Amino acid sequence: MARSGIPDAAPSSAAIRGTTAEEISDSIRDLVDAGDLLPGAALPPVRALAETLGVNRNTVVAAYRRLALAGVVVTAGRGGTSVAHPIALPEEGAQRGPAASAEVPHPRGSRDVCDIGHGNPDPRLLPDLLAAAARLAAGPTAASAPVVYGAPALDPALESWARPGLADDRPEHPDFCLTVASGAVDAVERLLAQHLTQGDAVALEDPCFLASIATSRQLGHRIVPVPVDAEGMTPDGLERALAEGVRAVVLTPRAHNPTGASLSAARADALRSILTGYPRVLVIEDDHFSELATTPYRTVVPRGHPRWALVRSVSKFLGPDLRLAVVAADPATGERLGARLSGGTTWVSHLLQRLAASLATDAGVRWQVSTARDHYRARNLRAAEVLMDALAAAPLRAIVPDARVRAGDGLNVWVDLALAPGEKPSQGVAVTDEADEARPSHESQQLREIVTGTGGARTPPTGAAVTAALRERGWRARLGADFALDATTGIHAIRLTAHELDDAQLAALAADLADAVRSASGATPPSAITAPSTPTTTAPRGSTTPSRGDVA
């Protein structure tokens, strides 16, 4: 390898060692870490490396696949495999780029570009942190002694609020250990870092929360994708991942981001039954939407399972800037996590913990959280209905006969214009209600899924093409493929954050989405179709939305 920064065409196969896929991938990773293989450097062809090492070519294929899933290399089919360049992974929140700016001229004459891919809670439905901090400073806790090195990491006020709720949800694990982290992402990262080493396999949902993808890749883990359907992580996918030797499983029990799926009772039972046979696997449940969820929490952790953690963040209902999450875990896992968050090094500020506890127990804030829960649910369902009406219209039915708009718990709606490989078409409407538990499973999904049909000949447009067409019409959506782990996931999907749009704005978005699908598919709108009207405004975040009473 040339040390000038310009990669050789291919490194010498002699520098790579090993007789198993794990040994070969570890050897290549060592060369990358040492700088002997620079970004862009081509790896030896599979057949050539197999002959040099005296192994079956499938062993080399498996080694390259491990490296690709860990983000160390990229494959280009006949173009070979090369060391990956550092890339900026997609992040949640306001999207970067010129189209995110309201200064970019709107294609229809307005100067507004509406970001409907940000994935954020509505700021007006979050409590005023500064006002709450002022009240806290004037209260009885203001006279408490300053927190110094060596103090317990968990503040008693936060513990008194968090522990009862967690105990109610985990009665089968009464001896759980409780600690606190700087948000859910921080908690999951620390849990994985203490349990896995570089190259270990972790099972993640596919599509997956962006931060979980970034965390696992940055830690050097080998990601094993597990498909998600309307009822959450799939049993078959989990069994395959466990068979591949994953040492940890990270899943979302409800309000899966990006699809909104929540575990049904039957699905949670099935996953729990599978995990019973794998007591050494760490199971992490990221219950990020907890206080705002309309679906019940259902655990997949088997009774007596020795390695588990339940993470609950306050970001969605108290505000992302608090950077705080509570973690319930088995005693061994909790103690190890607590040691990494000790009062002598990296504890979470007790001021933030007390502020969170004060907010979470305040009657006015509790009412505001309840209002936010109802608002997100109602607006997501309304968005699904309006968007699906547009996609189900006769002209579009021939283009996207299997389109679905999913509006479960969470802050987003998931628009998928095609079936995934092997997926069967759905029929009718499934509503999310606890009263529906007695209905057949196809009617009791913890997700509202509205579908248009059962198949057609035309190839649906990709999410990328539809997103580009929407951007030309003044809407900035989020690519479904951003959340993908497998190359086939989310190709025809987009995620929309529409809870801030009123009915008029939803109607404008629906008309533009239908127009974007036609444009992206190359279909010519029938002459009988009236062109969608130009909205008076596409209302960037923070402008007019439905009335919410006195919430501010």
Query: What is this structure's pTM?
Result: 0.78
DSSP letter for 532, please. Answer: P
75 and 202 both lie in a single domain: no
How far is residue 293 CA from its own chain's centroid?
A: 16
In which order are the strands placed within the sheet that holds 201-206? 177-181, 325-329, 308-313, 282-286, 248-251, 201-206, 222-229, 232-233
Q: Give the span between the Cα atoms of 334 and 418, in whole angstroms.
A: 42
Q: Using alpha carbons, list the distances in angstroms from residue 112 to 7, 122, 387, 440, 467.
A: 45, 19, 21, 46, 17
Select from 83, 107, 129 the last residue of a domain.
83
- Using an 8 Å Cβ cutoff, are 351 and 477 in contact? no
225 and 310 both lie in a single domain: yes
40 and 155 both lie in a single domain: no
Select from 83, 101, 118 the last residue of a domain.
83
Q: Give the span between the Cα atoms of 499 and 381, in whole angstroms.
A: 9
Neighbours of 514 (CB within 10 A): 23
CATH of the domain at 62: 1.10.10.10
Residues in contact with 338: Cβ distance below 8 Å, sequence separation at least 6, in sequence order = 153, 177, 179
- Using an 8 Å Cβ cutoff, are 470 and 532 in contact? no
309 and 204 both lie in a single domain: yes
66 and 163 both lie in a single domain: no
232 and 336 both lie in a single domain: yes
- Residue 223's H or E segment, with its range, is strand 222-229
DSSP letter for 447, please. Answer: S
Residue 162 forms part of a structural domain: yes
The model's pLDDT over 250-292, given as tens digits with 9 standing for 90+, comes to: 999 999 999 999 999 999 999 999 999 999 999 999 999 999 9
pLDDT of residue 181: 94
pLDDT of residue 108: 46
Q: Where are the beta strands (DSSP E) in 334-428?
A: 404-407, 413-416
Q: Give the span between the Cα atoms of 242 and 173, in whole angstroms.
A: 23
Q: What is the pLDDT along the chain (552 residues), one digit of tens a residue?
A: 333 333 444 455 668 989 999 899 989 988 988 888 888 888 999 999 999 999 999 999 999 988 887 778 887 767 788 898 776 666 677 554 443 333 333 444 454 689 999 999 999 999 999 999 998 888 776 556 788 887 888 999 999 999 999 999 988 888 899 999 999 999 999 999 999 988 899 999 999 999 999 899 888 898 999 999 999 999 999 999 999 999 999 999 999 999 999 999 999 999 999 999 999 999 999 999 999 999 999 999 999 999 999 999 999 999 999 999 999 999 999 998 888 776 556 789 999 999 999 999 999 999 999 999 999 999 999 999 999 999 999 788 889 999 999 998 999 999 999 876 666 665 433 333 433 343 333 333 334 455 444 444 468 899 999 999 999 999 999 999 999 998 889 999 999 999 999 999 999 999 999 999 999 988 655 444 444 443 333 333 333 333 333 222
Residue 474 forms part of a structural domain: no
Full domain range(s) for residue 76: 21-83
Residue 175 forms part of a structural domain: yes
Q: How many CA atoms lie within 13 A of 531 on its CB side?
A: 6
Q: Where are the beta strands (DSSP E) in 89-198?
A: 114-115, 177-181
- Using an 8 Å Cβ cutoff, are 446 and 264 in contact? yes
242 and 355 both lie in a single domain: yes
Select from 314, 343, 362 the last residue of a domain.
362
DSSP letter for 418, please. Answer: S
The model's pLDDT over 499-519, given as tens digits with 9 standing for 90+, comes to: 999 999 999 999 999 999 999
Residue 290 forms part of a structural domain: yes
290 and 204 both lie in a single domain: yes
Residue 328 forms part of a structural domain: yes
**Cross-strand bridge partners of residue 224:** 203
- Using an 8 Å Cβ cutoff, are 372 and 315 in contact? no
Please choose, from the candidates 198, 210, 205, the residue with its C-alpha nearest in 3D space to the C-alpha of residue 224.
205
Residue 141 forms part of a structural domain: no
Q: Give the span between the Cα atoms of 341 and 337, in whole angstroms.
A: 6
Please choose, from the candidates 334, 300, 351, 3, the residue with its C-alpha nearest in 3D space to the C-alpha of residue 151.
351
Q: Give the span between the Cα atoms of 271 and 298, in whole angstroms.
A: 11
User: Which residue type, as a one-letter code, is found at position 163?
Assistant: R
pLDDT of residue 434: 39
- Using an 8 Å Cβ cutoff, are 27 and 17 in contact? yes
pLDDT of residue 414: 96
Which pair of structure tokens corresponds to residue 59? 């062993």
Residue 457 forms part of a structural domain: no
Please choose, from the candidates 59, 274, 287, 322, the residue with its C-alpha nearest in 3D space to the C-alpha of residue 165.
287
Could you give the number of structural domains in the chain?
Answer: 2
240 and 326 both lie in a single domain: yes
336 and 202 both lie in a single domain: yes
Residue 179 forms part of a structural domain: yes
241 and 160 both lie in a single domain: yes
Q: Using alpha carbons, list the distances in angstroms from residue 383 to 86, 209, 541.
A: 37, 22, 16
12: helix, strand or coil: coil
Q: Give the span between the Cα atoms of 121 and 411, in whole angstroms.
A: 7
Q: Give the span between the Cα atoms of 257 and 210, in whole angstroms.
A: 9
54 and 203 both lie in a single domain: no
- Using an 8 Å Cβ cutoff, are 281 and 333 in contact? no
CATH of the domain at 224: 3.40.640.10
How far is residue 62 CA from its own chain's centroid?
A: 27
Helix axes 156-169, 350-360, angle to 10 degrees: 50
b/e per residue, 472-497, with b = 16+ CB within 10 A? ebbbbbbbbbbbbbbeebbbbbbbbb
Helix axes 210-218, 184-195, angle to 10 degrees: 30
| β-pair type (222-229, 232-233) | antiparallel
- Using an 8 Å Cβ cutoff, are 235 and 270 in contact? yes
